[in-house]
Copies of this chain bind each other. A is one copy, B any other.
Amino acid sequence: MGKNLTKRSEDYSKWYNELVLKADLAENSGVRGCMVIKPYGYAIWEKMQAQLDKMFKETGHQNAYFPIFIPKSYLSKEASHVEGFAKECAVVTHYRLKNAEDGSGIVVDETAKLEEELIVRPTSETIIWDTYRKWIQSYRDLPLLINQWANVVRWEMRTRLFLRTTEFLWQEGHTAHAEKQEAIEEAELILGIYAAFAEEYMAVPVIKGTKTASERFAGAVETYCIEALMQDGKALQAGTSHFLGQNFAKAFEVKFANREGVQDYVWATSWGVSTRLMGALIMTHSDDNGLVLPPKLAPIQVVIVPIYKGLDQREAITERVTPLIKELRAKGISVKYDDRDTHKPGFKFNEYELKGVPLRLAVGQRDLENGTFEVARRDTLEKETVQAADIIPRIETLLEEIQQHIFSKAEAFRESHITRVDSYQEFKSVLEAKGGFLLAHWDGTPETEEKIKDETKATIRCIPLQPGTEAGKCMVSGKPSPYRVLFAKAY
């Protein structure tokens, strides 16, 4: 089997779409904009979920579940939130179907119209703060540190698998605090968790920062984000954490008695990452041969392929590898032994390269005789021969090396694609010729931001958390600027 994968250099976008399909990660469904996440793709998402869930729980968060539907009126309660979220959404208007009188099939029963329409949640701040009003009376009820794993729906006009889909899976944290400072620290704590997860598990280097006012979450006072860089030089927002101030508490009348017995509005955060992370993972590491997965998130970390003539040889190989498989599994390493007789080794090699399995072991007749394994790593495609006695520690070392190596490689790429520019002309030419992140001075006004976006399609990805202190002049207006901000074209 050839992989027949378009090269990244030919058409990056086509390469991505083909890879998602060919690696069995996801596909489009019969419902516009909604994807089917296939078992192999879902297994990666499950590994992401498990690690994030652990990190949330270690920092005191609990999971809960809130309704999928939001009454239309709830969305209107927070003024800027409704502008951001009540527009392109799935609206439930009826609760019954019936057989058509002309026998043509089933039709909506017009007598079963809802008094108030329900919106399929695009995000859950409103329904959750409507609930928190009942849960919070006193400072003793705070903080409330809650997360939910859920599906959400945003009626996107142009969709792409994982990156932008009408329905997607995510986690959304919603916390309530007695003190403003505590809520800000919570938003920052979560940003740190997201960054650590991206870098240590996904092996995706990220830049932490805050959004400009115009890019903020609808209803937030401050939006923190992590931004990653894809191989085509475009940025991808990988997670956001919002300090919501008292906006939702005021909209939903959530007050508490503080230690002095005085009533005050509750301070809030919300934060989320979604199946979009799958897109970031795929686009950061993969190559023209297919997926490259970080060992920590790979559903199969090691695949073993027997190379044999005749079933006797296969049996001898199976006997040889069975104790190895057992030992590896006991160490928590996931191993697949692919002894299918319906496919040739070359076909299997291709398949596991396409699927990004970090390590491939091949065992043939000569390996049996010599007591060796051929080990191939997916990231570098390098092969080596390893003695049986050394194989387990070597596998452990290689898995760590691959995890580290793909992070370093992505980091080096990212570093070589951060350009400091001082004029708008330079900005435009670098953006055009090289892409990537651009660090430039900006006067802090939405007008200039908008002008740059309109003229170049680049947006301010974030104001880096450590922006440096180098003051300068806005590359567009020439007005003073306290520090450089990070621009890029983005997904």
Contact = CB atoms under 8 A, between A and B. Distances in A.
Interface of A: 27, 29-31, 34-39, 42-43, 45-46, 62-76, 82, 86-98, 105-106, 108, 117-120, 127, 130-131, 134, 140, 146, 150-151, 153, 155, 167, 169, 342
B65 A153 contact: no
Contact of A97 (B39, B43, B119): B119
B108 A120 contact: no
A89 B93 contact: no
Given A36-B64, A36-B65, A91-B94, A106 B71 contact: no
A169 B65 contact: yes
B67 A39 contact: no
A259 to B, nearest CB: 12
A39 B64 contact: yes
Given A64-B37, A67-B36, A117 B108 contact: yes
A214 to B, nearest CB: 20
B118 A31 contact: yes
A106 B69 contact: no
Contact of A42 (B64, B82, B130): B64
Contacts of A74: 30
7 contacts: A30-B130, A36-B66, A36-B131, A37-B64, A42-B63, A89-B95, A91-B95
Most buried by B among A89, A106, A150: A106
A104 to B, nearest CB: 10
A76 B97 CA distance: 11
Given A75-B106, A90-B118, 14 more contacts: A29-B127, A34-B67, A34-B69, A36-B65, A36-B66, A45-B65, A65-B169, A68-B151, A69-B167, A89-B97, A90-B92, A91-B96, A92-B92, A97-B119
A274 to B, nearest CB: 13
A64 B31 CA distance: 16
Contact of A89 (B76, B96, B117, B119): B96
Contacts of A92: 90-93, 120
B67 A38 contact: no
A31 to B, nearest CB: 5
A88 B92 CA distance: 13
A93 B118 contact: no
A484 B150 CA distance: 44
A30 B106 contact: no
A30 B70 CA distance: 8
A224 B226 CA distance: 49
B118 A105 contact: no
A151 to B, nearest CB: 6
